[in-house]
């Protein structure tokens, strides 16, 4: 079984902007059930289908598969819950770890979140200066929840 261990934080200031270039992500959800999420994602000319189990602490099962771009685009437009998520992802290395900073657009504009994947839940990490409050356990920040409860409505 594939496992994802991830911590999530709010981002403060603009210092991070000079540390990595952004890539546009477009994603939607076929299922946002608490027990499982099924996500479609398009990045450049790549389409992926991801199935994730329930989150326990900072851990959950995750399975990801490449799919044809045309299928991914069609499912985003015709089958996924709306609105879809649009964000620019900036990948930034800090102290040997890769941080993914997501700057959301559309109805979630203004939200900037950083995620870091870990080997274990208790792995010690040094936080970059631009990291703010941890929101790992706050479901408002789950991408799947940003569809039905966009950041602009908080």
Active site residue 29: yes
CA 114 to centroid of chain Cα atoms? 9
Q: Cβ distance 55 to 66 under 8 Å?
A: no
Give the chain's mean pLDDT. 95
The pTM for the full model equals: 0.90
Question: How many domains in the chain?
Answer: 1
- If pLDDT is split at 50, 70 and 90, which confidence band does 146 have? very high
The domain in which residue 89 lies consists of 3-153
Region of poorest pLDDT, from 52-66, 82-96, 121-135: 52-66
Supply the DSSP string of 124-153, one letter for each residue. Answer: --PPPTTEEEE-TT-GGGSTTHHHHS-GGG
Once rounded to an integer, what is the mean pLDDT over residues 127-148? 95
Tens digit of each residue's pLDDT (9 = 90 or more) over 30-44: 999 989 999 999 999
Q: How far, rounded to the nearest angstrom, does the alpha carbon of residue 56 sit from its chain's CA centroid?
A: 17
pLDDT for 44-82, tens place per residue? 999 999 999 998 888 899 999 999 999 999 999 999 999
Output the pLDDT for position 1.
Answer: 62
Give the pLDDT of residue 42: 98
CATH number at residue 148: 2.40.320.10
pLDDT of 21 strictly over 90: no
Return all residues near 10 (Cβ < 8 A) that are at least 6 apart: 112, 113, 114, 131, 132, 133, 135
Say which of 29, 63, 141, 151 is annotated catalytic: 29
């Amino acid at each position: 079984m594939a496992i994802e261990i991830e911590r999530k934080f709010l981002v403060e200031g603009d210092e991070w902007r000079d540390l990595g270039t952004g890539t546009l992500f477009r994603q939607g959800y076929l299922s946002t059930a608490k027990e499982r999420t099924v996500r479609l994602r398009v990045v450049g000319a790549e389409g992926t289908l991801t199935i994730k189990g329930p989150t326990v602490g900072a851990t959950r099962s995750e399975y990801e598969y490449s799919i044809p771009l045309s299928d991914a685009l069609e499912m985003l437009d015709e089958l996924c819950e709306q609105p879809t998520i649009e964000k620019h992802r900036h990948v930034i290395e800090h102290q040997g770890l890769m941080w993914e900073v997501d700057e959301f657009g559309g109805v979630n504009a203004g939200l900037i979140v950083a995620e870091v994947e870990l080997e274990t839940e208790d792995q010690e990490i040094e936080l970059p200066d631009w990291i703010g409050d941890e929101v790992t356990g706050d479901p408002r920040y789950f991408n799947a929840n940003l569809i039905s409860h966009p950041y602009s409505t908080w």
